[in-house]
Structure 1
Amino acid sequence: MELQIVLLSDFCDATLSDKGELLDAARRGRVAKAEEILQRPQDPDFLAEEALLDDDEPMGFSQYLTPLVAASYHGHSEVARLLLEARARLYDDRSLRRGYSALQAAAMNDQAETLSLLLEEACDSPLYINLLDDSLSSATHNGSAAIVEMLLEARASADPPDPFSSSHLCRAAWAGHTEVARLLLQAGAKVHRSSYAPAYDLRLTPLSAASWRGHVDLVRLLIGAGADVRVSGTLSVYCCAGVDVSNRAKRSLVLRVARCKRSRLSISRWARI
């Protein structure tokens, strides 16, 4: 069945109830209902008011929720397609400044089919690289290797274009997502690019982040990719590793991995944590 939206020049006035109907159709994937509403025609681009918010959506999106963001987050590709045909925008100007877009909503909830549709729509946008970077940030945090691979194939940069942004590799290392980190390294992520961790007032390299959290497989992967334990930012975390890594067996494994690499750094200094 082929669905079409007839576009007119002006939208009808929509009440809060009307907006709620469209948002509900987007959330639940009710294609026929969404088509009916959009043919009134009703503006597909409104920001949801507080009365229309749902606990199912991620907290960060509460101020920037549109029907397209809702459909994307819940993976309803046909409703998303209808909204795009009705000229719904991939992002609101206010939301993009905070990094929120329909692409990021799909990426953070592992909605590959919907993300593929949105990537096709976004490829001509002047902000395409920004949209990719924000989406990759969410995917690396959540550990979805399939989504990360899709975004990298769509020309997302393995390192954020903004030098002050947190490293995708560091984020994956902190969260313990080994396969995501492997994909980022294969795509050229800088193994020594550091990120600032405000909670600890430290700059962390991917290796120091993985070590602090006790992710032994990631430590092996990063050292194998050329990470140097002597790089500034790493030693301070090794010396404090006992803060978060309560399992001494994990700490011992981390130390043995480093010993195998014959580092000139004093292993005994680490062991006194």
Structure 2
Amino acid sequence: MLRVTMLSGKQVASIPVMELSDVRSLKQRLHRLHNFPARFRQRLLHEGSPLGDDAKLDSITDLELLLLSYHPTSQSQADELVTAAMNGFVDQVEALLQKPQNPDSTDAYARSPLTVASSAGHIDIVRLLLEAGADKDLANTDGITALMISSRHGRLEVVRLLLEADADKDFANNKGDNALMIASRHGHLEVVRLLLEAGADKDVANTDGITALMIASRHGHLEVVRLLLEADAEVQLWIWPCLHPKYPDVRLDGSKPGEASSASAWQSHPCALVRGEDRFSLGSSWYRDANQTSLVWGSTTLEEDFF
């Protein structure tokens, strides 16, 4: 048996050596089963000397555990961690976290290591930062989180990892956009599918009253529209910004071109009108009173979110 004690002599764990491969696995077990900090803030001492995470435990029977606070971090050191995460330098990120440096330290542009690694798709670094206890829902000054930025760039495996780490799938940025809206805007079908499977709210609207279905429709992402409809996204909403030349290929009730569609699938949604043609009027007296025909809507452009 391997006995682990604090420096005070208090025993905190007794573990069969055959269940452990190295110091890293012991630290991870102490974190997972005994609620100690992540391995980067643990030091295991054998006869007074610290052991590296790769050290084997075959002939060791007693270890002392020392817990560390985060190392004070200057702005240049925070910048260094963010840059290493952005560039995919796994060994450098590991070394900085071993100081131990706070994984949530942000650079001069308020970017966190997790956000930039997620944006670039560096999944090994994302995994490392999550292990270090990085805040998976930490947002920048625009309200952008790691889940949003990875959804923006279609980083499917990063999105999957963040969802498994229980990232907030419905967290909204300063404009009210969430990860599902952002993935829908950029046509990342598999990311949208993954978010829906994780239970993302498909009908929530941003600060402009726009939903993921409206956004996908506006940008002509037909397969995303189909997927949202299959997921029972709400269609009884005014979808004013989604007019797109390809939109007639999809009906809001899920029917395909040439198939019969319900009256409400057309009458309740100006998106079903053909952009740029003035042969239909909108299915609402409010819009008709405002002289807003499909031609007017089709000739306008939606102010695009920078994201």
Measure how far apart 1:148 and its partner are: 0.4
Letter in 2 for 1:238: S
Q: Bigger relative contact order, structure 1 or 2, given CA contacts below 8 A and separation 6+?
A: 1
Is 1:24 the equivalent of 2:53?
no
Measure how far apart 1:241 and its partner are: 4.3
Change (3 A) 1:219 1:115: closer
Please give the per-residue CA displacement for 1:180-222, whole angstroms capped at 9, x wherever unaligned: 0000000011123225xxxxxxxx17xxx23xx3224445465
- Could you say what the CA RMSD is over the residues aligned between the two structures, in angstroms? 3.0
Are 1:178 and 1:217, in contact at CA under 8 Å, matched by a contact in 2? no
What secondary structure sits across from 2:135 in the alignment?
coil
Please give the per-residue CA displacement for 1:91-130, whole angstroms capped at 9, x wherever unaligned: 23675xx54111111111111111111101116xxx5543
Structure 1 window deviating more from structure 2 (181-190 vs 84-93): it is: 84-93
- 5 Å-filtered alignment, 1:102-251, equals 102-122=146-166, 127-130=168-171, 134-160=178-204, 165-194=209-238, 204=240, 209-210=242-243, 213-220=244-251, 224=255, 226=262, 227-231=264-268, 235=282, 236-241=292-297, 243-244=299-300
Measure how far apart 1:231 and its partner are: 2.5
1:267 maps to: none
Q: Distance in 2 between matches of 1:85 and 1:187?
A: 33
Q: Distance in 1 between matches of 2:119 and 2:296?
A: 38
Q: Is the helix fraction higher in 1 or 2?
A: 1
Q: Distance in 2 between matches of 1:82 and 1:113?
A: 14
Change (3 A) 1:72 1:238: same
TM-score, structure 2 as length reference: 0.61
Q: Distance in 1 between matches of 2:117 and 2:73?
A: 19
| Unaligned segments of structure 2, at least 5 residues | 1-21, 29-38, 42-66, 256-260, 272-281, 283-291, 302-307
What secondary structure sits across from 1:122 in the alignment?
coil
Letter in 2 for 1:174: R
What secondary structure sits across from 1:100 in the alignment?
coil
1:257 maps to: none
Q: Distance in 2 between matches of 1:85 and 1:242?
A: 49
Are 1:103 and 1:135, in contact at CA under 8 Å, matched by a contact in 2? yes
How many residue pairs get aligned? The number is 214
Letter in 1 for 2:166: A
| Unaligned segments of structure 1, at least 5 residues | 51-63, 196-203, 246-273
Q: Is the strand fraction higher in 1 or 2?
A: 2
Measure how far apart 1:82 and its partner are: 1.2
Are 2:117 and 2:126, in contact at CA under 8 Å, matched by a contact in 1? yes
TM-score, structure 1 as length reference: 0.68
The share of aligned pairs that are identical, in percent, is 31
Q: Distance in 2 between matches of 1:216 and 1:135?
A: 23
Please give the per-residue CA displacement for 1:4-61, whole angstroms capped at 9, x wherever unaligned: 74214421122232122211111111111100000001111123213xxxxxxxxxxx
2:118 maps to: 72
Q: Distance in 2 between matches of 1:24 and 1:17?
A: 10
